[in-house]
Structure 1
Amino acid sequence: MNHEQSRSLYDRALSVLPGGVNSSVRATQPYPFFIERGDGGHVIDADGNKYVDFVMGYGPLLLGHDLPEQVQAAVQQHASQGPMYGAPTEVEVELAEFVARHVPSVEMTRFVNSGTEATVSAVRLARAYTGRDKIVVMEGGYHGAQESTLVEGSGADTHPSSPGIPDSFAEHTLTVPFNDEEAIHAVFEEHGEDIAAVMTEPILGNYGIVHPIDGYHETLRDLTEDHGALLIFDEVITGFRVGGLQCAQGKLGVTPDITTFGKIVGGGFPVGAIGGRSEIIENFTPAGEVFQSGTFSGHPVTMAAGLETLRYAAENDVYEHVNELGEKLRSGLTDIVADQAPNYTVVGTDSMFKTIFTREGPDGRDGHCEAGCKQRESCSRYDHCPKNGMDVKRTETDRWERLFWQDMKDAGVFLTANQFESQFICDAHTESDIETALEAYKAVL
């Protein structure tokens, strides 16, 4: 493939953007290819190369790049009526009503502008509501670029994971491995009276895709209730993708106190949201005293895009389509991996997928999960599948970034650029796209 235009654009970008990009995950080696436009389930770069797109904007594009007529019409209508107003609009009420009707934990919502802003506000709210300071997060978990959760370490022995964050922030953050019930019990035994909340993704989506073991989230629910702490589900990735309109919490059958959203709830435009029981969410200003505000919050174009995206998904069997394609892709990947890379682990659910370059596997594959690891104890791979973010970090991350990603790109398949980020299927993808991807995986692996 020719990438002269992308290389030239990257050369220009290095002079005016740090690292040549505006988000670090876009900094692929030896340089990123620059996208010119989207086309259904594909993207076309500045040199005219076309790729099957499984990045989908890192998750927001449930419907793909070509918006259905009703979504496009709503976006254009609100954009033509004025960019924004600094005053409420009806469409933000309608979207909040839609979310409350479908998501088990949500009675009331505050819309913000990014997933990071949502998790920052959720942590502040939990601390104010409980009168406590400590937050429990999962080791290797990611909840946006915020000071309270950008930490490394184990238990109470944590420190900031980025320069520029005072050590005092990490003093209030406790970490436990995802899926480790013994560790979470120990943390609550020692710090239970000081813990404001446990924050976790229901299914890890930023460190591979890791399912909870049976009963893990029920344990978190019981412990938080017993100790007067809150349970926060970060559904920025899984929200309105896993479990359909009920989100992952509906699929898993565990109801948190607070849920954070992003990505799909804005229909591909910048968005975040914090939802939960009214008695909690009403503590935000102006109803309560927990300060939260934003110039662009509830932006009418974003609200319209999110509302019509979710309405379209509900009315047109979108989840059935993308989940069927996801099942087909993961099943095909499982067969390819069994034949060509038996140590590797296929993960994912619904319209999410990934192949984790794990270093060890069982001698046989009897009874293994056939379309993505579900953490079943009866599976022959159970002891070898990643159980938490640190397990994923110990995989062949360099091979993914330096060899595999590059070769898949050359085969016309656009994947997330590292071992950790999820990959996604959209409504515009077809069975032909899945076959193309499987042929590429077969050739590259």
Structure 2
Amino acid sequence: MNHEQSRALYDRALSVMPGGVNSSVRAIRPYPFFVQKGDGGHVVDADGNRYLDFVMGYGPLLLGHDMPEQVQSAVQRRASEGPMYGAPTEVEVELAEFVARHVPSVEMVRFVNSGTEATVSAVRLARGYTGRDKIVVMQGGYHGAQESTLVEGEGDDTHPSSPGIPERFAEHTLTVPFNDEEAAHTVFAKHGDDIAAVLTEPILGNYGIVHPVEGYHETLRNLCDEHGSLLVFDEVITGFRVGGLQCAQGKFDIDPDLTTFGKIVGGGFPVGAIGGKSEIIEQFTPAGDVFQSGTFSGHPVTMAAGLETLRYAAENDVYDHVNGLGEQLRLGLQDILEDQAPEYTVVGTDSMFKVVFTRNAPDSFEGHCEAGCQQREDCPRYEHCPKNAGDIKRAETERWERLFWPEMKDQGVFLTANQFESQFVCDAHTGEDIEDALEAYKEAI
């Protein structure tokens, strides 16, 4: 493949943007390819190279790059009527009603501009509602670029994971390994009266797509109830992708107090949202005293894109299609690994997938979880499949990034740039696309 234009663009970008990118995850070595346009389930780069796209904007593009007519016309109509107003519009009410109607735990919604802004606001709301300062997060869980969750360490021995964050922020953030019920009980036994909230993804989505073991979320729910803390589900990635319109909380039958959304709820445009019980959400200003505001919150173009995307998904069997393709892909990947790399692990559910280069696993796939690791205790690979972010981190991350990713790119398949980020199937993908991807995996693995 020729990449002269991408290389030239990256050279220019390095002069005016730190690292040549506006999000660090895009900094692919030796340089990223620059996308010119999307086309259904593919992207075309600045040099005209065409790739089968499983990044899907890191999750927002449930329908793919080509907006269906009803979505496109709604976006164009809203844009033609003026970019924004600084006043409410009907469409934001309609989208809030749609979310509240379909997501089990949501009674009210506050729209913001990004997943990060949603989690920042949710943490502030939890602290304001409970009158407590401490929050519990999962080690390796990602909740956006915010000071309260960019921490490292174990339990209450934590420190900021980035320069620029005062140490005192980390004092109020407690960490536990995902899927470790004992650690959760321990941190509540020590700090329960001071914990405002537990913030967790239903499935770790930025660390290899790790499913909860049976009973884990129920344990968190019970601990929060016992100690008067809030359970906050970060569904920025899983929202309206895992579990369909009910989201992952519906799939797992867990009722969080607050839920953060992003990505799909904006139909591919910048968005975030906090949903939950009315008595909690109404603590936001102006109904309550917890300050939250934003110039672009509830932007009419974003609201229209999100509403019509979700309506289209509900009316056109989108979830049946993408989930079926996801299962086809994960089953095919397991067949490949059984022949070529049995130590590796296929993870994912619904329209999410990944191959994690784990180091130790049985040679046999007999009796294993089909179509991705589901943390089934009677699976012979259960003791070896990743249970938390630490397990993913101990996998062959360098091999994945330095050898596997470039080989897949050379074969025309665009994957997320490291072993940690989720990959996604969209409605524009076809069965033929999945077979093409499997052939590329056979060569690259």
Indicate whether the TM-score tops 0.5.
yes
Instruction: Check if 1:354 corresponds to 2:329.
Output: no
The two structures have a TM-score, normalised by structure 1, of 1.00
One-letter amino acid of the counterpart of residue 348, structure 1: G
Question: Which residue number corresponds to residue 92 of structure 2?
Answer: 92
One-letter amino acid of the counterpart of residue 31, structure 1: Y
Q: Classify the secondary structure of the residue corresponding to 2:365.
A: coil
Q: Classify the secondary structure of the residue corresponding to 2:159.
A: strand
User: What is the 5 A alignment of 1:185-224?
Assistant: 185-224=185-224
Number of matched residues? 445
CA deviation vs aligned residue, 1:102-124 (integer Å, no higher than 9, x gap): 00110000000000000000000
Question: Which residue number corresponds to residue 309 of structure 1?
Answer: 309
| CA distance in 1 between partners of 2:178 and 2:362 (Å) | 22
Shift of residue 63, structure 1, vs aligned partner: 0.3
Question: Which residue number corresponds to residue 51 of structure 2?
Answer: 51
User: What is the 5 A alignment of 1:110-149?
Assistant: 110-149=110-149
One-letter amino acid of the counterpart of residue 292, structure 2: Q
User: What is the 5 A alignment of 1:124-273?
Assistant: 124-273=124-273
User: What is the 5 A alignment of 1:335-350?
Assistant: 335-350=335-350
| CA distance in 1 between partners of 2:366 and 2:175 (Å) | 35
User: Are the counterparts in 1 of residues 342 and 364 from structure 2 also a CA contact under 8 Å?
Assistant: no
In structure 2, runs of 5+ residues without a counterpart are none
Instruction: Check if 1:322 corresponds to 2:325.
Output: no
| CA distance in 2 between partners of 1:271 and 1:212 (Å) | 27
Shift of residue 364, structure 1, vs aligned partner: 2.3
CA deviation vs aligned residue, 1:226-279 (integer Å, no higher than 9, x gap): 100000000000000000000000000001000000000000000000000000
| CA distance in 2 between partners of 1:321 and 1:140 (Å) | 31
Shift of residue 363, structure 1, vs aligned partner: 3.6
Shift of residue 362, structure 1, vs aligned partner: 1.4
| CA distance in 2 between partners of 1:54 and 1:291 (Å) | 38
Q: Classify the secondary structure of the residue corresponding to 2:233.
A: strand
Shift of residue 366, structure 1, vs aligned partner: 1.9
| CA distance in 1 between partners of 2:322 and 2:214 (Å) | 25
Question: Which shifted more, 257-266 or 391-400?
Answer: 391-400
CA deviation vs aligned residue, 1:41-86 (integer Å, no higher than 9, x gap): 0000000000000000000000000000000000000000000000
In structure 1, runs of 5+ residues without a counterpart are none
| CA distance in 1 between partners of 2:118 and 2:29 (Å) | 31
Question: Which residue number corresponds to residue 332 of structure 1?
Answer: 332
Instruction: Check if 1:381 corresponds to 2:376.
Output: no
One-letter amino acid of the counterpart of residue 78, structure 1: R
Question: Which residue number corresponds to residue 444 of structure 1?
Answer: 444
Q: Classify the secondary structure of the residue corresponding to 2:9.
A: helix
Moved over 3 A (4+): none
User: What is the 5 A alignment of 1:277-316?
Assistant: 277-316=277-316
| CA distance in 2 between partners of 1:231 and 1:121 (Å) | 14
Question: Which residue number corresponds to residue 109 of structure 1?
Answer: 109
CA deviation vs aligned residue, 1:312-353 (integer Å, no higher than 9, x gap): 000000000000000000000000011101110000000000
| CA distance in 2 between partners of 1:241 and 1:363 (Å) | 32
Question: Which residue number corresponds to residue 403 of structure 1?
Answer: 403
CA deviation vs aligned residue, 1:284-339 (integer Å, no higher than 9, x gap): 00000000000000000000000000000000000000000000000000000111
Question: Which residue number corresponds to residue 67 of structure 1?
Answer: 67
Q: Classify the secondary structure of the residue corresponding to 1:401.
A: helix
The two structures have a TM-score, normalised by structure 2, of 1.00
One-letter amino acid of the counterpart of residue 256, structure 2: P
One-letter amino acid of the counterpart of residue 154, structure 2: S
CA deviation vs aligned residue, 1:136-186 (integer Å, no higher than 9, x gap): 000011100000000000000000000000000000000000000000000
CA deviation vs aligned residue, 1:196-233 (integer Å, no higher than 9, x gap): 00000001100110000000000000000010000000
| CA distance in 2 between partners of 1:50 and 1:402 (Å) | 21
| CA distance in 2 between partners of 1:225 and 1:322 (Å) | 36
| CA distance in 2 between partners of 1:106 and 1:93 (Å) | 14
One-letter amino acid of the counterpart of residue 168, structure 1: R
Shift of residue 365, structure 1, vs aligned partner: 2.1
User: What is the 5 A alignment of 1:24-39?
Assistant: 24-39=24-39
Give the fraction of aligned pairs with identical amino acids, expressed as a percent: 82
One-letter amino acid of the counterpart of residue 378, structure 2: S
One-letter amino acid of the counterpart of residue 282, structure 1: E
Q: Classify the secondary structure of the residue corresponding to 1:52.
A: strand
Give the RMSD, CA atoms, in angstroms: 0.4
| CA distance in 1 between partners of 2:379 and 2:177 (Å) | 21
User: Are the counterparts in 1 of residues 338 and 363 from structure 2 also a CA contact under 8 Å?
Assistant: no
Shift of residue 370, structure 1, vs aligned partner: 1.6
One-letter amino acid of the counterpart of residue 349, structure 2: T
Shift of residue 369, structure 1, vs aligned partner: 1.1
